[in-house]
Chains A and B, each alone.
Chain A
Amino acid sequence: MQRYSIYSLVRNALTHHEGWQRAWRSPPLKRRYQVVIVGAGGHGLSTAYHLAKEHGLTDVAVLEKGWLGGGNTARNTHTIRSNYIRDVSIRFHDVSVKLYEQMSRELNFNILFSQRSMIDLIQSFGKLRDLRRRSLAMALHGPQYQLISVDELQRRIPAMGSLDQVRLPPLAGMVHPEAAMARHDAVAWSYARAADARGVEIHQHTEVTGFVRGPDGAVTGVETNRGTVSADIVALATAGSTSDVARRAGLSLPLVTRNLQAFVSEPVKPLIDVIVNCPDVGLYLMQSDKGEIVIGGGTDPYPSYRQGSHFATFEDTVASLVELFPRFKALKMLRQWGGAIEFAYDASPIISKTDLPGLLVSTGWYGGFKSIPVGGLTFAHLIATGTPHPLAEAFGLDRFTGLKFLLEAGTVAQR
């Protein structure tokens, strides 16, 4: 792997940038691999990287229907945080935040990681009690979540307008200083490059159309548009489409797919240097390094694979936005889009073996961008050792049979 540094930049500038190598190879597709990962998004690539790094498994192929990092990895709003309520979720996401802090250095790729803290604007007493409880739960595990007054809220978010005319005036704020954002494409590219350097093969435009089954029903490979590939283990990391892909193996999963939309404005001067989240009205926003205001709201209120902008939800989100930030009425929106997110029955992720030997799934990631490093770490552990990683023991499919749900509501997306 060609290392990136200020020296490589200067050296390549002097040679007219003709010496840059490709970030990853495009090798021919073999007929057999030890592990096939379906989906080259953040989770699939991170899993491949950790398989090679921690477990020495390099006979791995990552198959991608479209292009690398072009699914939900390209469609999220790149927020990283660990303000959860369940013990397992807090620990799991805290590790993810710590892995993100090291990622640029570890993978030698600048992911533009910016730890700028998230402020929850609390607009109802019910939410205030709920987030106070959450801050106490988080205090047991390390991540910080501090209550601040309305005056402090206005000091930290000066872009907010006068609160006199607001229907639900903020009562307090909750600050999560570990919260961060990072460039989402760079996360996928850095994992792809690092995994490729360790021998993992990435095959884009290779769609899995079916599964090869052994005489005992075990999954022994995949059918693709480029021929059959056999594998000891097939691991699904197909966020948004997992029900659809698993159905081709005859497997049902307790998932519902919904559309979650976001939109960005034209670039403006620096106005907001924190991530603002308003769980009571279903709105969150931040300013990207390019100056665009990135705005998101709740999911569309029914199952959907639409991956588009839904006007009723858009209107709802914008109404909340201009009430709290009246000067944003003058903003022009540049782009809007939607992503297909999967909810498990209890809204917690699933990292698990399935009823079919040889088929493993990592799914149920709503807000999966923040869990890319730890999701890959724990899924790779399950693939390589056959036993769940200690951080992810609670995320098996067997929790449903025992009705051991991990109810994890409370983000904007889950409203």
Chain B
Amino acid sequence: MLLIPCPWCGPRPEGEFVNLGEAVPPRPADPAALADDVWVETLIMRANVRGPHVERWWHQRSCGRIFAIERDTLTHAIRPLDPEARP
């Protein structure tokens, strides 16, 4: 059982959260202006790292906040990130 540090509620059990996957950069403002392969890469490519992984979580069954943390995909060690930064 993981304890996920929600910036609003504090550490809460993982069952309250939904993992939203890797924290990818924001979508390009004008996808139509991109070449097809660049757009597809933006949509589907994931680093899928073994080790420290910056990812988004959604505190769905509580405050509803979406935030980013760093979790090691091998050890599950968690490091909170700056809650003011864009997740």
Contacts and interface: CB of A to CB of B under 8 A. Distances in A.
Size range of the chain A interface in the assembly: 20 to 34
B50 A312 contact: no
Contacts of A4: none
Given A256-B21, A257-B73, A306-B73, A241 B50 contact: yes
A254 B73 contact: no
Contact of B44 (A257, A304, A345): A345
B74 A243 contact: no
A306 B53 CA distance: 13
A403 B50 contact: no
Contacts of A247: 47
B contact face: mostly helix, strand, loop, or mixed: mixed
B76 A306 contact: yes
A77 B76 CA distance: 25
Interface of A: 241, 243-244, 247, 252-257, 301-306, 311-312, 342, 345, 400-401, 403
A248 to B, nearest CB: 12
Interface in B38-80: 40-41, 43-50, 53, 55, 71, 73-76
Contacts of B22: 256, 303
A305 B74 contact: yes
Nearest to A242: B48
B55 A311 contact: no
A400 B44 contact: yes
B29 interface: no
A171 to B, nearest CB: 28
A256 to B, nearest CB: 6
A257 B73 CA distance: 9
Contacts of A243: 46-50
